[in-house]
Structure 1
Amino acid sequence: MNTAGKFSLTKETARSVLFLVLFFSGISALIYQIIWIRKFGLVFGVHVFSMSTVLTAFMAGLALGALYFGRLVDKKKNPLLLFLTLELGIGLFAVFFPFTFHGLSEIYASISRNFPLGNYSVQLIRFLLAFFFLLIPTTLMGGTMPVIVKIFTDNIGKVGSRVSLLYGTNNLGAVVGGFLAGFVIIQHLGLNQSGYLAAMLNLVNAFMVFLVVRFTRRPEYVTELQEAKDSVSSVTKISPGLLKLVLWVFAIEGFTTLSYELLWSRILIDFSIDKTVYFSSTIVISFIFGLSLGSFLVAGYLDKNKDLLTLLGLIEIFIGLLSVFFLLFFVWLAPKLVAQRSMLDSWLQTAGKEYFIFFLILTPPTLLMGITYPLVTKLAADNLAFLGKRMGLLGFLDTIGSVVGSFVAGFIMIPFLGVVKSFIITVCINLVIGLLVFVVHPVLSVRQKTAITGITLLIAVLIMLRIPSGSYTREWWDKTKRSWFDNNYYESVLFFDEGAAGTVTVRKYPHGLALNINGHNTAYTTSKDLRVNRQLGYMPYLLHPEPKSALVIGFGMGATACSLVQPDMERVDVAEICSGVIKAAHIFAPWNRNVILHPKVHLYDDDGRSIVFMTNRKYDIITSNAIHPRLSNNIYTRDFYKLCREKLTENGILCQWMPQNWLTGDEYKALVRAFTEAMPYSYLWYVNEYSTLIIGTMQPLRIDVAQLCRKFHSNDAMQKDFKEFGVPNEWYFLAQFWFNDQELKNYVSKAECNTDNMPLAEFSKVINIAPVIEVMDTLANHPVAYEQILTNVTTRQLDSIKFYAVIERDHIKSIARNVRAFMKHRGY
């Protein structure tokens, strides 16, 4: 009799529904992971330790869930009900996540602001909060795979093909989820709405499982132990001692998989032309796609093959050899790709092409990694009654191995050994565990084992001899490159440091030095760039009537912090998350005057946003060192500016670099609007064709010209700096003022707003680094009302200001005209 009385699902239809459920579950899981890590980053900071803390907590929950629910499902008569509960619980948690996360943020803020904590204590609190908060949903997620395998496996002899298809389907869903989150839904829906979409998938899953339970006869999905007896002959039997070795190999491979992912990310981001969210999404998608494809490819093979130990050993060896081969291939290919780059090509022609190449390089070794999960399952699962428990153990070992791999690679191997040596060590681990499988193989002869070992070592040595030097970026950066305006130029690497937070280099060009972080030049010693970086400090200092304290977010070359170390300043705090930047500071001593050694300067090794969030201190000046919003969007959102506003004194000033290149006109307006919506009063200053500065004040800005002149001439070093970057006097300085508060708000009134929830600038696909013509036209044609903000100014002084403003306006028009002509000449 049917459970519904009138209608019943066939076994095939029910299984198809469950495959769809598993696919949706993979989609939602990756969306959650990306969203939750981003959300935690906004509170805990984007420091690598903070992010790894969240990821470790996430993975730990998955491991515990696999272990617990794997054991539990063996005791359930109808595992479908347990699976329904898991999907429902995940969906409900996601629905309430924005509200519960807000409460967690308040708890963290209260603890960090009211208790004097050291760096270790802060990291411990972050871990505990993240761990216990994510424990519920991630434990539920970890339980889905062992439970679904138990549901689908009614014949232990077919466990290899079942797990291959299930694991492949779930990972394929994760690929789709990673693509949707990284390329589509966060950009168009926002973080919170994307989380709700993922929650809807889990709730739909729960409903579909309910329909399967309701409209399918129970015997279809009740596991009968008797069925196992019919397939004992097809079970691969290995000794208990050998099984322990296989499980250790599986756990160690989980270690190497996450290690490879981190190492490849560090190698490729140094090279990639686009280092935004699209890059990180591509790496994740490539790895998971390989895992999915590998699992699918062996679905029909594992249950027929009797010598799976040999296959396991070969896979581990080939993972190592393929990985090092593709590293050599990429080092050879990279300079050729650089030579073909054109900043005038489309996103697809440049970044899209590079991402596709990354995908092709990462897929082969990860495909082999994807085979190991179902393969080890086939070796380890020999009893249908305890299948859930064994699957839970495998999930636990794989996840714990991944957690350890991520931690060791990120915090031990890379900082102390560098990326290349860490890569070689990881390759050697795969080779060793692969050869170990052959050494203990009970069937192979000594001659066969010796031959396999000798051939493997010979190939490995030959390949290792071609490994690049530790400072691998020299392999493709110490070459002739072509800039966007088609002039050849040379660069050489003077300083190289690989740390947990990133790879830092100092590069020498004919026109000066550049500070490079993860392959992107963030600051130059040219007069054009110094005009920006020094005025990020000088401008708020000169505009504030009596500044005493300042917070600089990002050290860079040190020019901004140096500008704020003045006789009347009492304290200058600097937040810098990348230790390599501080190590390179001595190279820029001629420009920063060894400011890190000054007693007024206090360095904080943490994310700038996290410092703003945690501190109880209030500042007269908060200024953000120049790093492009596409690379650090979290310090260009309305939410961040509101945090800064809370940490300003009554007459405090917030200063932010606002670039008008590498963006669209609408994206530039979105960035400006984020600032104007957060600050009571906002004022835009033009610096050069690539840079504007925006000043936010708590009170209407009124510049006492007489007082400003006294401050301007009170410091010889300040006057020297201004003259060096092309601002000869205080009148030229004031001529940089462009928009008052109301004018700026009118300018961006119809624009979208860049927020934590809608990070618009981060998803920009602009490749051309030329100034945005639309913005330049607006600046060139905007009449400036200096009288509205200046006090104690004479007519002659005002005329001098307007004279220099005419020079700047003509320069803007000239730049816009030249860019138009150049683009037209190139056919754009």
Structure 2
Amino acid sequence: MTRTHSPRHIAALGALFTLSGAAALIYQVLWVRELGLLFGSTAQAAALTIAIFFTGIALGGWLFGRVSGRLARPLRAFGWVEAGVAATALGHFLVADAYFTLYPALYAMIGGIPVLETALKAGVAGTILLPSAILMGGTLPLMGQHVIRAQDSLGRMGSALYALNTAGGAMGALAAGFFLPIWLGFSGAYLLAVGFDLVVGLSALFLARRALPVVAQNCQPRVAIPARLWIIAFASGFATLAVEVIWTRAFAQVLQNSVYTYALVLTVFLLALSLGAGLANGLNRTALRPDAVLTGLLLAAAAVVAATPHLFHHLTGGLGYLGGRADFAGYVWEVGRVAVLTMLIPGTILGAVLPYLLRLMEGGAPGAVLGRLIAVNTTGAIFGALAGGFVLLPMVGAWKGLWLMGAVYAVLVLALWQPSDGWGARIARFAGLAGVVVLLAGQPGLQAARLNTAEELLAFREGASAHVAVVAREESKFIRVNNFYTLGGSGALVPERNQTMIPLLTHPSPREIFFLGLGTGISAGAGLFANPDRVTVCELLPDVIDFARDWFGPYVNGLFDDPRVTIHPEDGRQCLARSRATYDMIIADLFTPWRAGVGNVYTAEHYRLAASRLNAGGAYVQWMPLYQVSRREFEIVANTMVQAFPEVTIWRGDLYPERSIVALVGRKTPAPLDPATLAAQWRAMTGSDEPDDVLSARALKFYAGNAASGLFADAPVNTDDLPLIEYLAPRTHRAVIAGRANWLTGPERDRFYTDLLDALPPGSDPHLALLTPAQRNLARAGAVYAEWRGLRTRNDLRAGALWQDFLALTPSHARDPDSPAGQVAIGGMAFGEGAD
């Protein structure tokens, strides 16, 4: 008679295995983020990280599955393996720091050779990930070998273990995405996961002292398992991960795309897989024929995956932005609701296939079967994740990709065919298959891009990284990413050029210019007005580069044809990190602060890296969209820049009445602003023949203030380890939409400009030391003019008095003599004030 474990023992092991799953997903989330800092936040880098992590899991399942059957006390081995995960995970800190230091030198040896670059990244990621991942892969076969005591309980107990571990993974993903990094920092969250594994390992070792040893019948030779079951295990892993990749992309079209929304979608998917394992556990307890149940699961999977595009379109109102006017809590609830309705039932069915296979594999050593199953399924998952992101999305798109994966599940029914099948089983199987094929073949077309009224789609591509479109509206065209993020357009020619030309006014001879972000290419193209020796541009999305080249040629000043220009389809931070090249000006484009990964360019580590890449007298320019940040986020970024640059000045990018942008300009060596340089650079870039005092006066109206005022000194610092912007900005975004907070627009912006100048008046500003009193007044005149335009737009009666203040601050030569109102003369080739 087989001796079984006590219920208390089983419950304790279940809790430990759930905690182990939570730790594994915390590691995975943090590893993807950490290697994104090293390799860049690209789809290729993320895919490489996931592929290597899954490779480790597959290797661990295969290796430990082979040896588990020879162990008398596999629970003790499980405890040591968990302790080993904790130990090897700690080594991440040493290895990662070493690679961050060595990576530029290693890249210098092989840079420019894509195969060698990929090999280098794989070597780095493998060193960091594989030791821990291999050990993680061994946990299920070792635990299964200990827990499963009867030959006919593999299906029931194995699916239960799989459900608990995956449920723990869902909790870990949720914690790592929503709470731990902002509570503990990434290092603290990582150490917490290490602590979880250590607790699991030590507890297992303690329980193993009194646990029942494995009985002899559990150590019998491996029973031959039909090849068709391994084919289904591989193909289900392939299709499930491909579907998950495509679902994630579909949600990117309707979400804020912050760390929170990504974590929520991942959590719901893992929860569905856990419920699927629970469903398999229930089915394993029935007397139904296993091949009939598996046939039903595969056909149901095919049907629900194929139906997902229509369901998603219905739930999102045709790819409409989710959340309405809800605050952050309401927004998370709405995203969770749609994610559950879209993925929970399909994901549960997909998640039932793998653990139900255990019912048909009973008879051999549990650990060996579980280990091999994990190895085969995870190998399929590696190829599925890569195929979903780099084959299906670019070649057929999201919706057809889902229908193809539905077809994969339907075709797998054929793998269950056996010569011994009766006619009833054959007819039922092929009738179900035919019905699913008809369903797949009859799918109507669905839109992949959402257009607003009076918009025309000029070009569209579902790339490996994002959906990218070129859209026309009236006389202008612009690039849009994932339906709701506009990267700029021809209608904003003047302000986009200003993003380059205003900072270039402050440098006497900008020979080497680096652009962090391309967008339409208008801003980078404006850099050629300064006649530099070299322009380097790094753009995260390759499709954006293609569309900018194809559709914005007339607006980019020959950017794509100039031999001085080099454009890299890479993450901008990685471009700076991997090369020792230095620059006179590094200009960071406008970025949406709440998007996942964007916070990496607002950290102290990034600013220190950028400072190390500046030539003497060089400057780093961080553009900030005041219509997308609150004062809190702006002050965090400003104080963070101050940690890397002894001098940080602030410049307006426009004199709009409302939606303004400003530049934080950081220099390693403080130096007073030279009015002669302003005039010379304005003349060089625009061809103006006006006097120096006129040109310098025009430029000085864009000067907003100096961070040396101490206005931002109490703000916290944004770091890679404590990513405040990445976690605070999404909440602010929803608070503004709900009417509970404000961006730095309108009166908020005007108050900010005033506070900045009052904290360090122009007369005391060391950056303005070379200016005359009249010239210093122009900084305040620019702020007054911007506020006047806002009041005039809002029909505020105070506008008249404010205009008189502006005239008092502005010398006559800085006014337009042809205007009866004597308004400011901003004009010129690129320095326009913009329309109201």
Partner residue, 2:480: 516
Partner residue, 2:104: 109
Residue of 557, 575, 579 corresponding to 1:611 = 575
Deviations 1:198-229 (A, max 9, x none): 11111111221122123x2x4x2x12134799
Contact 2:280/2:353, CA 8 A, preserved across alignment:
no
SS in 2 for 1:508: strand
Partner residue, 1:124: 119
Q: Which moved more, 1:193-202 or 1:587-596?
A: 587-596
SS in 2 for 1:112: helix
Whether 1:739 aligns to 2:720 is no
Partner residue, 1:473: 448
Partner residue, 2:802: none
Give 1:256 deviation, angstroms. Answer: 0.4
Deviations 1:168-207 (A, max 9, x none): 1111111110110111111221111000111111111122
Deviations 1:693-723 (A, max 9, x none): 1101122142221222122123337999xxx
Whether 1:354 aligns to 2:335 is yes
Change (3 A) 1:78 1:325: same
Partner residue, 1:748: 712
Contact 2:238/2:382, CA 8 A, preserved across alignment:
yes
In 2: Cα distance, 1:200 partner to 1:75 partner: 29
Partner residue, 2:72: 77
Change (3 A) 1:355 1:668: farther
Partner residue, 1:507: 471
Whether 1:381 aligns to 2:362 is yes
Partner residue, 2:157: 162
In 1: Cα distance, 2:689 partner to 2:380 partner: 58
Deviations 1:482-519 (A, max 9, x none): xxxxxxx5433222012112211122335843321123
Name the aligned partner's letter for residue 712 of structure 1.
Answer: W
Residue of 6, 14, 29 corresponding to 2:9 = 14
Contact 2:591/2:624, CA 8 A, preserved across alignment:
no
Q: Which moved more, 1:679-688 or 1:248-257?
A: 679-688
Partner residue, 1:669: 635
Partner residue, 1:538: 501
Contact 1:154/1:228, CA 8 A, preserved across alignment:
no
Unaligned runs of 5+ in 2: 797-836
Q: Which moved more, 1:389-398 or 1:625-634?
A: 625-634
Partner residue, 1:330: 312
SS in 2 for 1:432: helix
Partner residue, 1:486: none
Partner residue, 1:449: 426
Change (3 A) 1:436 1:14: closer
Whether 1:570 aligns to 2:533 is yes
What are the within-5 Å matches in structure 2 for residues 168-247 of structure 1? 168-214=163-209, 216=210, 218=211, 220=212, 222-226=213-217, 243-247=226-230
Deviations 1:645-666 (A, max 9, x none): 1111111110011233444432
Name the aligned partner's letter for residue 374 of structure 1.
Answer: P
Contact 2:631/2:743, CA 8 A, preserved across alignment:
no
Residue of 621, 626, 635 corresponding to 2:601 = 635
What are the within-5 Å matches in structure 2 for residues 200-349 of structure 1? 200-214=195-209, 216=210, 218=211, 220=212, 222-226=213-217, 243-272=226-255, 274-305=256-287, 307-335=289-317, 338=320, 342=324, 344-349=325-330
In 1: Cα distance, 2:494 partner to 2:719 partner: 28
Give 1:366 deviation, angstroms. Answer: 1.2
Give 1:70 deviation, angstroms. Answer: 0.9
Partner residue, 2:145: 150
Contact 1:732/1:804, CA 8 A, preserved across alignment:
no
Give 1:627 deviation, angstroms. Answer: 1.6
Change (3 A) 1:718 1:534: farther
Partner residue, 2:386: 407
Q: Which moved more, 1:545-554 or 1:490-499?
A: 490-499
Residue of 666, 669, 693 corresponding to 2:663 = 693
Contact 1:525/1:591, CA 8 A, preserved across alignment:
no
Change (3 A) 1:77 1:552: same
Change (3 A) 1:454 1:670: same
Give 1:355 deviation, angstroms. Answer: 3.2
SS in 2 for 1:753: coil
Give 1:574 deviation, angstroms. Answer: 0.7
Give 1:566 deviation, angstroms. Answer: 2.9
Partner residue, 1:5: none
Name the aligned partner's letter for residue 420 of structure 1.
Answer: W
SS in 1 for 2:508: coil
Partner residue, 1:783: 757
Name the aligned partner's letter for residue 779 of structure 1.
Answer: Y
Change (3 A) 1:195 1:537: same
Partner residue, 1:551: 514
Whether 1:36 aligns to 2:31 is yes
Give 1:311 deviation, angstroms. Answer: 1.5
In 1: Cα distance, 2:116 partner to 2:631 partner: 44
Q: Which moved more, 1:72-81 or 1:654-663?
A: 654-663
In 2: Cα distance, 1:74 partner to 1:643 partner: 52
Contact 1:178/1:281, CA 8 A, preserved across alignment:
yes
Deviations 1:400-425 (A, max 9, x none): 00001111222222223332332222
Deviations 1:238-292 (A, max 9, x none): xx5x7101111111110001100111111120122x1111122122112111111
Partner residue, 2:833: none
Partner residue, 1:823: none
Contact 1:17/1:208, CA 8 A, preserved across alignment:
no
In 2: Cα distance, 1:553 partner to 1:581 partner: 14
Change (3 A) 1:429 1:653: same
Partner residue, 2:822: none
Give 1:464 deviation, angstroms. Answer: 4.1
What are the within-5 Å matches in structure 2 for residues 650-669 of structure 1? 650-669=616-635
Residue of 792, 800, 806 corresponding to 2:784 = 806
SS in 1 for 2:138: helix
Deviations 1:527-557 (A, max 9, x none): 6x55553233112321112110111111101
Whether 1:93 aligns to 2:88 is yes
Whether 1:707 aligns to 2:677 is yes
Give 1:339 deviation, angstroms. Answer: 8.1
In 2: Cα distance, 1:415 partner to 1:607 partner: 20
Partner residue, 1:431: 410
Q: Which moved more, 1:454-463 or 1:106-115?
A: 454-463
Q: Which moved more, 1:111-120 or 1:405-414?
A: 111-120
Contact 1:187/1:758, CA 8 A, preserved across alignment:
yes
What are the within-5 Å matches in structure 2 for residues 32-71 of structure 1? 32-71=27-66
Give 1:812 deviation, angstroms. Answer: 5.9
The TM-score with structure 1 as length reference comes to: 0.87
The TM-score with structure 2 as length reference comes to: 0.87
Name the aligned partner's letter for residue 443 of structure 1.
Answer: D
Name the aligned partner's letter for residue 230 of structure 2.
Answer: L
Change (3 A) 1:201 1:395: same
Name the aligned partner's letter for residue 442 of structure 2.
Answer: L
Name the aligned partner's letter for residue 620 of structure 2.
Answer: L
Partner residue, 1:440: 418
SS in 2 for 1:106: helix
Change (3 A) 1:812 1:210: farther
Partner residue, 2:809: none
Provide the aligned C-alpha RMSD in A. Answer: 2.8
Contact 1:90/1:137, CA 8 A, preserved across alignment:
yes
Name the aligned partner's letter for residue 655 of structure 1.
Answer: V
In 1: Cα distance, 2:360 partner to 2:54 partner: 24
Partner residue, 1:645: 611
Partner residue, 1:822: none
Give 1:581 deviation, angstroms. Answer: 0.4
Give 1:69 deviation, angstroms. Answer: 0.7
